[in-house]
Amino acid sequence: MLQQKEKEINNLKMKNYYQKYNLENEIINKREEKLKNNKKKNRLLKEQQKMNMEIIKSLDLEDINNKKNNVNFIKSQHYLNEERKKAIELSKKNDIKIDLENKLNLELELKKENEKKIKELLNIENEILIRIQNTTTMHRQLIEEFEKLFSQPEYIENEE
């Protein structure tokens, strides 16, 4: 019986030893599995962080590009407005220039007409002067002839 008891105790010890060994192995395995899982989670987290950083960078770049585009759009709108203003101003200047050219042409035509009228009036004046000279000359001649007639002795005697 004592042997049997010893055998049982030995069996129990063995059983305890195996249980302890199994438990220790399970704990080690679980620890290793948890470590693996933690490493895997850590690696996945790092990858997720990298992806998040890339997304943030791309969003920042997109935001910067949008701001640049907005700035460029505003600049181009400002440039277009300036060009429109310049075009309107140029158009007004051209209209004024055309109006002034028309007025100048009208003035030149009036000047030509007035010069023609002046020439005509000068011609008429010259003709009148010539007529006056002719008339004066004719009057002189008539007076001279009349004086000759009166100064002739025959006419004087007849009168007496």
pLDDT at 5: 86
Residue with tokens 């063995």: 14
Q: What DSSP character marks residue 1? A: -
Determine the average pLDDT of the residues in 88-116.
95
Residue 2 three-state SS: helix
For the chain, the structural domain boundaries read 2-159
Yes or no: say if 117 and 111 are a contact pair by the CB < 8 Å rule.
no
The fraction of the chain above a pLDDT of 70, given in percent, is 95
Residue 159 pLDDT more than 60?
no
Tokens encoding 87: 């075009």
pLDDT at 157: 55
pLDDT at 140: 86
The radius of gyration of the chain's CA atoms, rounded to the nearest angstrom, is: 67
Q: CA dist 151 to 88, 138, 145, 158, Å? A: 90, 19, 9, 12
CA-CA distance, 76 to 81, in Å (whole number)? 8
Determine the average pLDDT of the residues in 73-84.
90
pLDDT at 158: 54
Determine the average pLDDT of the residues in 70-94.
92
Residue 34 pLDDT more than 80?
yes
CA-CA distance, 157 to 160, in Å (whole number)? 5
φ and ψ of 152, to 5 deg: -75, 140
Tokens encoding 44: 């996945």
